[in-house]
Amino acid sequence: MVQAGDDLAALLSAAMARAALAPQSGDVLAVAQKIVSKAEGRSIALASVQPSAAACELAKQTGKDARLVELILSEAQYVVRARPNLIIVKHRLGFVMANAGIDQSNVGGDGHALLLPREPDASAAALAARLGLPVVITDSFGRAWRRGTVGVAIGAAGLPALQDLRGQPDLFGRSLMVSITGFADEIAAAAGLVMGQGAEGQPAVLLRGLSWSGAANPAAELLRPVQEDLFP
C-alpha cells in the first residue's frame, strides 16, 4: 500500500524490474490516480475538516457527510448539479465530475478521503522523467448520456494526449476532416480492463506496442474550451 511521501517512481521501477519489463519504444505506463494522490499526501482525515454553512446545506440536500461536502466544495469551481448521494462539480482542474473526484475506497483507514493530485500533468511528467517512458495517470469517470464508468486520463506526459488526425487519409485517400482522438483517454480505458475497480490491487499497467505521431501534449488538452461547449 502506497503511503504519503513514498518514492512512487522507485516503487514502479522496482515493480517493472521484478516483472522483467525494460522500457522500450511504444511502451506507455498507465498509473492509477489513487497511488499518485497517496504518495503526494492528498489523503485528508475527515475529523480535521470543519464544514461551512454552504457545505452543511448541501449535505442536507444530498445526504452526504458535511465534512466530505466541504472537501468537495474546496476542490470545485462550482456545483453543476446535486441530488441525493451525488454532487457533480466543475473541478478546479477543469474536469466535470462527480464529487470532485474525491474517493474513500481503497484509501485505507476509516474516516479519510483522497483528493486528486494537485497537478496531474506535472505528476505524470515527473514520473516519465524518472522512468524513461511516457506516463498516463488514470481515473474512473462517468460520462454524460452513458451509464457506467470508464478510465480516463487526468495527467499525461511523453505522448500526445490529444491527437489531431485531420488531414490524414482514410482507406480510400479521403482526407480526415474532424478526427481528433483522445489518445490518452483510450490508453486509460484499455488499462482499466486490467486495473479493475475494486480489490484487484493492480494500480499500474504497462501497455506495449503502441504507436503515435505528433508532438506530446498534456492531459489538460483533453478539456473542451468553454467557447466550444454546446451544453454550457
Tell me the average confidence (pLDDT) per consecutive run of 10 residues in the chain, 232 residues long: 95 96 96 97 95 98 97 97 96 96 78 96 98 97 91 98 89 86 97 89 96 94 90 74
Beta-carbon count within 10 A of 124 CB? 29
User: Cβ(69)–Cβ(195) under 8 Å?
Assistant: no
Closest by alpha carbon to 121, among 150, 93, 85?
93
Residue 108: the pLDDT is: 65
Joined together, the cell numbers standing for residue 48 give: 480535521
pTM: 0.93
Alpha carbons 226 and 230: distance in angstroms, whole number: 9
